[in-house]
């Protein structure tokens, strides 16, 4: 195998690991596999990720950053739809982000990324008396719905319409959207 240097090896490793995660699941993910897919030596990842857990933390942090981007600026129900859509489009990363496999207290970048995604929810409810509670309630709703869909509890053929209808029944935001 020929190897080459990347301009941004951590980003290349995360892209490779993210593809492996979504295609083959968490069990197939290793630093060696990420290196192979990125086209670098099996030792190269260790310069940036000391172990598999550090790679998983970086993948989860990247996932929270992606989720936060999808949520920012979305009004009420559309924000909830964006959350569920993210979970359905990236089910393995979503499970990694919320599965408790990586301790947030050990990885400040992960904790900050998760708080950033939550902050997008708080922003959406800033005009309510207790935006943190409204954000926690909304997050709980969309997270539970996402998890139930991922686990096959709802088998509607048109998931988008189902999610829209479920969120439409709930007063997702009391301010004008």
pLDDT tens per residue across span 147-174:
999 999 998 889 999 999 999 888 654 4
pLDDT in tens, 86-106: 999 999 999 999 999 999 999
Closest CA to 86 of 65, 101, 103, 102: 65
pTM of the model: 0.87
Q: Give domain 1-50's CATH architecture.
A: Orthogonal Bundle (1.10)
Residue spans of the domains in the chain: they are: 1-50, 52-169
Topology of the domain covering 52-169: Tetracycline Repressor; domain 2 (1.10.357)
Q: How far is CA 41 from CA 4, 29, 38, 44, 101, in A?
A: 9, 16, 9, 5, 27
């Amino acid at each position: 195998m020929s190897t080459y240097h990347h301009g941004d090896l951590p980003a290349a490793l995360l892209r490779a690991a993210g593809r492996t995660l979504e295609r083959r699941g968490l069990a197939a993910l290793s630093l060696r596999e990420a290196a192979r897919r990125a086209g670098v030596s099996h030792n190269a990842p260790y310069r940036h990720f000391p172990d598999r857990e550090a790679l998983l933390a970086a993948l989860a942090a990247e996932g929270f950053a992606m989720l936060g981007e999808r949520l920012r600026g979305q009004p009420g129900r559309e924000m909830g739809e964006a959350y569920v859509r993210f979970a359905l489009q990236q089910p393995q990363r979503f499970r990694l982000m919320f599965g408790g496999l990586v301790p947030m207290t050990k990885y400040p970048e992960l904790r900050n990324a998760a708080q950033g995604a939550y902050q997008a929810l708080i922003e959406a409810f800033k005009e309510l008396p207790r935006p943190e509670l409204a954000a926690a309630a909304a997050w709980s709703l969309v997270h539970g719905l996402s998890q139930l869909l991922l686990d096959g509890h709802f088998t509607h053929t048109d998931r988008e319409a189902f999610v829209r209808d479920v969120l439409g029944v709930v007063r997702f935001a009391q301010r004008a959207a």
